[in-house]
Copies of this chain bind each other. A is one copy, B any other.
């Protein structure tokens, strides 16, 4: 990152991410048809989503990820709230035994590593590496679980890979969120510090804290030095589920953090953070939001499938986030779009 630059990218990289995630359309369609025979289960009429997920032995999280993506693809529809049904195209082409079905065609890759892995994730609802004998490591940190975020080399590689997206989005976020009156920003799980650094560059009186795992903070230290804002950025190692929330922040940022966690953990994180805010303080959730109707956009639904693979989370809708912020007494305004399919939702304390 060039020192003192507050430039924003000229083009949104969103179309590249969208194409790059095409693999998850393939794996979800193939797993749905070949592994779960999902469309066959709907051949006799609409079903309750939760009941169908149970019947297919999918956790609620797996069910939401799979059903949302297939709705976004036009292969499932919500016949009434909480119910799903076939669409004209899936009824004609994805039910085994129909005259014009292409089930075997879209099952051709079902023995590939990509489809087998997605089917396994959907069955277990555990990220890769959640068990010691499994290939790969999880991209989240949870005490007692092998994590890419604890081994220095992999943490660095993974962090830098994700940084490519953050570098694009952070200056746009810094430009668009209201921070003029903010004094101390707490960047929870802030990784490389890229979001904090972008905010510090745009607001010369702002100070910030990146609160994350110690291995990840080493990258943040380098980036802050390069950007010339190290004197206003504090790096605090910690575990957001356990350690006391760093004090005196008036703005808390959760940028692409909650999507790593299941609903219970998201609520727990929000409930731990909200009490740390002063009157007038703000909690900002920056993430890729699903539609409130949980049927798209396709790009976010496929991103959600990837998060499902490698974390304990998924993408959530702004409505889901609003409800959790309301539970802890925060009031939300409209969402503010940034870049790369992301938006910010701000919950204010009074």
Contacts and interface: CB of A to CB of B under 8 A. Distances in A.
Interface string A1-31: 1100101011101011101111111110110
A113 interface: yes
A11 B95 CA distance: 14
Contacts of A302: 22
A164 interface: yes
A99 B6 CA distance: 11
Contacts of A101: 164
A136 to B, nearest CB: 10
Interface in A217-266: none
A41 B20 CA distance: 20
A11 B88 contact: yes
Contacts of A337: none
B30 A89 contact: no
A123 interface: no
User: Which 7 residue pairs of A and B lie closest in terms of their CB atoms, listed nearest first?
Assistant: A22-B22, A102-B164, A22-B25, A113-B113, A23-B26, A105-B164, A104-B161
Interface of A: 1-2, 5, 7, 9-11, 13, 15-17, 19-27, 29-30, 73-75, 88-90, 92-94, 99-109, 112-114, 157, 160-165, 167-168, 302
Given A7-B99, A22-B23, 10 more contacts: A9-B93, A10-B92, A13-B92, A16-B102, A17-B106, A20-B25, A20-B26, A101-B164, A102-B164, A105-B164
22 contacts: A7-B99, A11-B89, A13-B89, A13-B100, A17-B105, A19-B29, A19-B73, A20-B26, A20-B29, A22-B22, A22-B23, A23-B23, A23-B26, A23-B114, A100-B167, A101-B164, A102-B164, A102-B168, A103-B164, A104-B163, A105-B164, A112-B114
